[in-house]
Structure 1
Amino acid sequence: MNKIVTSKEDILKASREIASKDGLQSINMRNVAKHCGVAVGSIYNYFPSKADLIIATVEDIWKSFFHMGDDLYFKHFNDCVDWLFTTIQRGTKQYPGFFIAHAQGFQSSDVKQGREVMEEYFKHIQRSLLMVLNQDQQVKQDVFNDDYTKEDFIQFVFVNIMNLLSQQQPSCHILLETIQRVIY
């Protein structure tokens, strides 16, 4: 074990590789240390617990799925929804079982911090969707009101994206068609 892990990023990279190959359930301090070629204690220098390591790995994987770059611009809301669905779907192929495993793990365990990280990422996605919706010049002016707000619509779209992904649907074409009929 001569190799020295010099950064948190190296550990997270090893954790992502383990998650990609063997699933999230295979991430633990011993496996990551072995993968990095260091003593288990070295991992604890960066992550005080297995839960902290898994939470950081999950957050890192989510970032790799759909972090919108500054050069990414959507003229139409539907294009953004399609991109988001496709991007997450492609990511779940790289990390088989990730989407369902981490959501179930955070919901069924007492890992409050993990749930908070996941919820913050979901809020970030929803804020981005709202921003794109607000910029879409093709949206009918009379679609939204006090009883049917843009925020409600974004929540509906987001929940449906997540449901389609958790059901491992091959596309979101029905959702896209529904959006098309409602807002354009």
Structure 2
Amino acid sequence: MNHLATSKEDILTASRDLIRENGWAAVSIRAVAARCSVSAGTIYNYYNSKADLLGDTIESVWYEIFFHPKDEQVFHDVETCISWIYERLEYGDAQFPGFFSLHSLGFMRNEKSDGKKKMMQTWEHILHGLCEVLKNDPKIRPDVFDQQFTEDKFADILFSLILMSMLRQDYDPSDVLMLIKKTLY
């Protein structure tokens, strides 16, 4: 059901809905305007170009998938955090089929600056969260990390495995959790 867009959030909701239904190719100024029951000019009141619209849409998709303050307790131990990340990946893939592989690879390869920047901001947020969890998890052996094998380096390893899972669409964290158990506890 179409509705009248009265805000950027309405436009972004319509854009996400188009992606859910028909993939990234469905998002255009005209398609979003039609979904919102407004003229294309109304969308241009909010966005200067399709690239600007796509950049904000990408950011809103990443936000929907990964930014959940109510899930704050997942950042108290590494195993729970990794399980939550994989659950969110699975959710993201179900809600936005092909988002991770098409969007991530496309922006990395084509250097589309705004979309790539927003994707990288989300990745940095996840990586920072992993580092914090590694530094604060009380279950981790106190002698695990040193100057050569730091929390940051292990977070990079974990994040690389997460990225591979995204690209493969493999949302089973059991191998990563086994690595964590054998390495940290």
User: Given the two structures, how large is their TM-score scaled by the length of structure 2?
Assistant: 0.93
Q: Which runs of 4+ in 1 moved over 4 A?
A: none
RMSD: 1.6
Size of the alignment, in residue pairs?
A: 183
Residues 150-177 of structure 1 show CA distances to partners (whole Å, capped at 9, x for unaligned) of 1111111011011012101140211110
The aligned counterpart of 2:69 is: 69
Aligned partner letter, 1:58: I
Residues 97-139 of structure 1 show CA distances to partners (whole Å, capped at 9, x for unaligned) of 1111111221232421211111111001111111222221010
Q: Secondary structure at the match of 2:81?
A: helix
Check the 8 A contact 2:93/2:100 in 1, yes or no: yes
Aligned partner letter, 1:65: I
Give distance in 1, aligned partners of 2:58 and 2:149: 33
The aligned counterpart of 2:166 is: 165
The aligned counterpart of 1:182 is: 183
Shift of residue 4, structure 1, vs aligned partner: 4.3
Check the 8 A contact 2:5/2:36 in 1, yes or no: yes
Is residue 58 of structure 1 aligned with residue 33 of structure 2? Answer: no
The aligned counterpart of 1:118 is: 119
Give distance in 1, aligned partners of 2:6 and 2:108: 33
| Identity score, percent | 34
Shift of residue 148, structure 1, vs aligned partner: 1.1
Give distance in 2, aligned partners of 1:86 and 1:5: 31
Shift of residue 142, structure 1, vs aligned partner: 1.2
Give distance in 2, aligned partners of 1:63 and 1:154: 21
Give distance in 2, aligned partners of 1:110 and 1:161: 22
Give distance in 1, aligned partners of 2:13 and 2:64: 11
Task: Call closer, same or farther: CA 1:179–1:118 in 2, change over 3 Å.
Answer: same
Higher helix fraction: Structure 1 or Structure 2?
2
> Structure 1 stretches of 5 or more lacking a match?
none
Check the 8 A contact 1:51/1:111 in 2, yes or no: no
Is residue 133 of structure 1 aligned with residue 142 of structure 2? Answer: no
User: Given the two structures, how large is their TM-score scaled by the length of structure 1?
Assistant: 0.93
Is residue 5 of structure 1 aligned with residue 5 of structure 2? Answer: yes
Give distance in 1, aligned partners of 2:121 and 2:171: 26
Aligned partner letter, 1:77: V
Give distance in 2, aligned partners of 1:80 and 1:114: 26
Aligned partner letter, 1:149: T
Shift of residue 22, structure 1, vs aligned partner: 0.6
Is residue 26 of structure 1 aligned with residue 36 of structure 2? Answer: no
Task: Call closer, same or farther: CA 1:131–1:68 in 2, change over 3 Å.
Answer: farther
Q: Secondary structure at the match of 2:46?
A: coil
Give distance in 1, aligned partners of 2:133 and 2:161: 17
> Structure 2 stretches of 5 or more lacking a match?
none
Give distance in 1, aligned partners of 2:141 and 2:165: 26
Aligned partner letter, 1:36: C
Give distance in 2, aligned partners of 1:4 and 1:94: 23
